Amino acid sequence: MASCLRLPIVTSVHTSSSSSLRRNSKPIYAASHRCSVKIPMPPLNPKDSFLSKLASLAANSPEDLLSKPPRSDTLPYLDLFDSPKLMATPATVERSVSYNEHRPRRPPPDLPSLLLNGRIVYIGMPLVPAVTELVVAELMYLQYMDPKEPIFIYINSTGTTRDDGETVGMETEGFAIYDAMMQLKNEIHTVAVGAAIGQACLLLAAGTKGKRFMMPHSKAMIQQPRVPSSGLMPASDVLIRAKEVVFNRNTLVELLAKHTENPVETVANVMKRPFYMDSTKAKEFGVVDKILWRGQEKIMGDAASPDDWDRKAGIKVVEA
């Protein structure tokens, strides 16, 4: 392997006139001084075919290197090979030699989109207009994708109020989600995680009968709607708002009585003050049907059926 590139000394043929000098001057390579100039080069990789051929060409016919390439749109010295191969782009190299073959090829979607792919709608904020818009859109989309598969709604919301009781949204936000649920053809499984307060408790109870669940340490609470801040509103406008709140309270009482199968008077009495329910009390009141806790499937599976109990007890069932 050549350890240096030998470049020739360029001389010119001089004529009598300066104009003819510019027109007729041509480079002449002096053979006697071919190796007089040496450019020190680092050791070359013997496995690099391109550099090897380039060094051989510089030693044998340097005039080919000094002349311009025949095509200006090609990279220099690539015409030395019949079919030159360019290096891969950084992205290609990263994909080909990646240390993690299971790495996603593109950025993952946001978390609500991943849950939506599993037919899960998560309500984890108070019912403000932005939350209502997203939840209703997700419900309609899931019905459009498959009107037969169930939809799972996980609820951890304080309804239209915050923890301190301040109103953050109108009662119609909860009614909008409720009406969207009632219009769906799918089964709706509701699960309470954390808290289901006010309008969120209505959404929990509005699931398909037998498919309403609650975590062991979750809380449910029903309360009367609150009047939004009136500020400097005239007295007549405050009265109009108060009438609207009373109307929404009556609607909420009727819907809760319908889904919990309690009398309207019972629901109205417990709603006079905030009525908190743990998972057991919520099941007794009819808000949910089952309490979810780890291991219950195995215990229920090991439990004997009523027929097995009768057979072990020696009871014979006489058919009519």
What would the pLDDT profile of 62-108 be if each residue is shown by its tens digit? 766 666 666 666 556 555 555 545 444 444 444 444 445 555 566 66
Give the residue from 47, 36, 49, 40 showing the smallest Cα distance to 7.
Answer: 36
Query: What is the 3 state secondary structure string of 94-123?
Result: HHHCCCCCCCCCCCCCCHHHHHHHCCEEEE
Mean local confidence (pLDDT), 153-161: 93
Q: Which structural domains are found in the chain, ordered by start?
A: 4-80 (no CATH), 112-297 (3.90.226.10)
The pLDDT score that the predictor gives to residue 254 is: 95
Distance CA 216, CA 308 (A): 30
Give the position of tokens 């849950």.
115
Mean local confidence (pLDDT), 123-149: 93
Distances (CA, A) of 296 to 124, 189, 216, 278, 314: 26, 18, 12, 18, 29
The 8-class DSSP code of residue 209 comes to T
Residues near 187 by beta carbon (within 8 Å), at least 6 away in sequence? 150, 151, 208, 211
Q: Is pLDDT larger for residue 38 or for residue 235?
A: 235
Mean local confidence (pLDDT), 227-233: 73
β-bridge mates for residue 4, sequence order:
40
Give the residue from 192, 209, 208 showing the smallest Cα distance to 276.
Answer: 192
Query: What is the 3 state secondary structure string of 178-201?
Result: HHHHHHCCCCEEEEEEEEEECHHH
Helix (H, G, I), strand (E, B) or coil at 266: helix
The pLDDT score that the predictor gives to residue 73 is: 62
Q: HSE (CB half, 13 Å, CA atoms) of 71?
A: 7
What would the pLDDT profile of 99-111 be if each residue is shown by its tens digit? 455 555 666 677 8
pTM above 0.85, yes or no: no
The pLDDT score that the predictor gives to residue 295 is: 62
Mean local confidence (pLDDT), 247-264: 94
Share the mean pLDDT of the chain: 77
Lowest-confidence region among 93-107, 212-226, 257-271: 93-107
The pLDDT score that the predictor gives to residue 262 is: 94
The pLDDT score that the predictor gives to residue 12 is: 44
The pLDDT score that the predictor gives to residue 288 is: 95
Give the CA-trace dihedral at 239, 241, 246, 248, to 10 degrees: 160
Give the position of tokens 């109870």.
205
Residue 281 has pLDDT above 90, yes or no: yes
Give the residue from 156, 152, 148 showing the smallest Cα distance to 116.
Answer: 152
Distance CA 192, CA 162 (A): 17
